[in-house]
Amino acid sequence: MKDSYIGVFDSGIGGLTVVKEIVRLMPNENIIYLGDTAHVPYGTHSPEQITEYALQDTKFLSAFNLKAIVIACNTVDSIAREAVDELCNVPVFGVVEPASKVAANTTKNGKIGVIATNATVNSRAYNKAIEKYNLKAEVISVACPLLVPLIENGQFKKGDTVTRNVLKEYLDPLMKQEIDTLILGCTHYTLLTEMIEDLYPNLMIVSSSIAVAKTIKASLPLSGNEQVDRRYFVSNNVEDFKKLAQIFMGEVLTENIEQVQLG
Ligand code: DGL
């Protein structure tokens, strides 16, 4: 019998930043990825709609033999975590908690910036999670609704002037408030790490994608597969996803990509 999979889902390409880290830290794991590209971005929808999408994604993944589910989407983790937990009979890993813990322990001056989708910011999930680890921390959040569409359009390379200007609009006010640590509270934003480092070299950047992969490695019994099986599913055009995935994943092959109907 085939070894079980780690199931990972997001609204689009953003969750691949989590897959990339899982592959780097746990190269022998089988992985199933679902990107609900027909409905991206989730972050501008109502909590009810986001929960409905999250449950569809979870049901799709649950048809496979899973050892864990990873909510590679801050928006879903902030809004629909309980609903996903209720549906799953395997361990569920989310992104908000691990990133909050890292940021709370990283900040020197106690001022933590969070950039995320509208839904994540409105949920205050990061404020609540950070408070658990650092009572004194001041959390300054900003919703960045323009970033996910730009990233899904492939505009995440360091030199992209449009995305650079948009980022400055969002981040300059946070820098004026003297944040020393910034949480990339949307898995898509991990793709902007180089650009942000280039703009603000002294800022400490915490990627929710990297933080969750480390937590998974510390918590799950790991597999020893010599030949791994990695499969990718999307709910919209395969070719668009493939192009972006290949630019981004580089050496990690993403050949097994299929389009599926959710719901
Ligand atoms: N990558 C997602 C997140 O972490 C979702 C972005 C979106 O679909 O709006 O929030």
Say which CATH number the domain at 175 has: 3.40.50.1860
Q: What is the pLDDT along the chain (263 residues), one digit of tens a residue?
A: 568 999 999 999 999 999 999 999 999 999 999 999 999 999 999 999 999 999 999 999 999 999 999 999 999 999 999 999 999 999 999 999 999 999 999 999 999 999 999 999 999 999 999 999 988 999 999 999 999 999 989 899 999 999 999 999 999 999 999 999 999 999 999 999 999 999 999 999 999 999 999 999 999 999 988 899 999 999 999 988 888 888 777 655 556 889 999 97
Distance CA 115, CA 120 (A): 9
- Residue 111: CA count within 13 A, CB half-sphere: 9
For residues 192 and 101, membership in a common domain is answered with yes
Q: Does one domain contain both 179 and 246?
A: no
The burial of 105, by beta-carbon neighbours within 10 Å (0-12 exposed, 13-18 middle, 19 or more buried), is given as exposed
Query: What is d(CA 214, CA 193) in angstroms, rounded to the nearest whole number?
Result: 18
Residue 84 and residue 100 in one domain: no
Is the whole-model pTM more than 0.85?
Answer: yes
The whole-number pLDDT of residue 57 equals: 98
Domain count, the chain: 2
Best substitution site from 8, 10, 141 to test ligand 1's pocket, by max atoms within 8 Å of Cβ? 10
- The answer to whether the bond into 41 is cis (omega within 30° of 0) is yes
- Residues 203 and 110 reside in one and the same domain: yes
* 217 plus 181 within the same structural domain: no
C-alpha span between 153 and 147 (Å, rounded): 10
Specify the pLDDT at position 263.
Answer: 77
Query: Do 192 and 164 form a contact (C-beta atoms < 8 A)?
Result: no
φ/ψ of 100, rounded to 5, equals -65, -45
The pLDDT score that the predictor gives to residue 191 is 93
Contact 116, 186 (CB under 8 A): yes
My answer on whether 176 and 252 are in the same domain is no
Show the tokens assigned to 116: 């995320």
135 shares its domain with 221: no
Q: Do 20 and 108 belong to one domain?
A: no
Same domain, 101 and 169: yes
Question: Is there an atom of ligand 1 within 6 Å of 39 CB?
Answer: no
Decide if 233 contacts 241 (C-beta within 8 A). Answer: no
Q: Which atom in ligand 1 lies closest to the alpha carbon of residue 72?
A: 4
Domain shared by 129 and 204, yes or no:
yes
Whether residue 100 is found in the same domain as residue 200: yes
pLDDT at 3: 81
Residue that terminates a domain, selected from 169, 184, 209:
209
Name the pairing type of β-strands 181-184 and 257-259. unpaired
Range(s) of the domain holding residue 154: 96-209
Catalytic: 186?
A: yes
pLDDT at 243: 84
**194, 209, 224 - which closes a domain:** 209
Q: Kindly state if the Cβ of 74 falls inside 6 Å of ligand 1.
A: yes
Give the amino acid at 104: A
Residue listed under structure tokens 């989310």: 94
Query: What is the residue-wise DSSP string for 118-154?
Result: HHHHHHTHHHHHHHHH-TT-EEEEEE-TTHHHHHHTT
Same domain, yes or no, for 109 and 64? no
